[in-house]
């Protein structure tokens, strides 16, 4: 990163494919499968795991609070990052459960 003059990533925002909504609307098999997000949950988990240094946002309802946090020296507090990590793990657990229940 230093050799290429790249800055560290300290904020990741992920909105998962709308699997729950699509299947609740009665999507056929192909459309449901297409709406299973693969990379999003991985990025969410990796960022949440590293919440000591990075902020993960998985809910647009948190944008306003994120903005308030960033208004203070362009940084987020550890307390905020930890709360967002907890929320992120809950989101991926719910997402995976929805996929499991649909298949089951």
Q: What is the pLDDT of residue 7?
A: 81
Q: What was the pLDDT predicted at 2?
A: 84
Q: Class assignment of domain 11-103?
A: alpha beta
List C-alpha distances in Å: 45 to 5, 8, 54, 70.
26, 18, 11, 22
pTM: 0.90
Write the burial class of residue 24 (CB in 10 Å: 0-12 exposed, 13-18 middle, 19+ buried): exposed
Residue ranges of domains in the chain: 11-103
R_g of the chain computed on alpha carbons: 16
Give bridge partners of residue 11 from the DSSP assignment: 55
The pLDDT of residue 70 is 94
| Full pLDDT tens readout for the chain, 104 residues | 789 887 888 999 999 999 999 999 999 999 999 999 999 999 999 999 999 999 999 999 999 999 999 998 899 999 999 999 999 999 999 999 999 999 99
**Residues whose CB falls within 8 Å of the CB of residue 9, separated by 6 or more in sequence, listed in order:** 54
């Amino acid at each position: 990163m230093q050799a290429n003059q790249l800055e560290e990533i300290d904020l990741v925002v992920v909105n998962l494919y709308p699997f729950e909504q699509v299947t609740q609307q009665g999507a056929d098999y192909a459309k449901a499968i297409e709406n299973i997000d693969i990379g999003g949950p991985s990025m969410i988990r990796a960022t949440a795991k590293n919440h000591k240094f990075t902020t993960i946002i998985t809910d647009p309802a948190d944008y306003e609070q994120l903005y308030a946090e960033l208004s203070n020296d362009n940084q987020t507090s550890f307390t905020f990052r930890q709360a967002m990590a907890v929320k992120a793990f809950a989101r991926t657990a719910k997402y995976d459960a929805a996929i499991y229940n649909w298949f089951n």
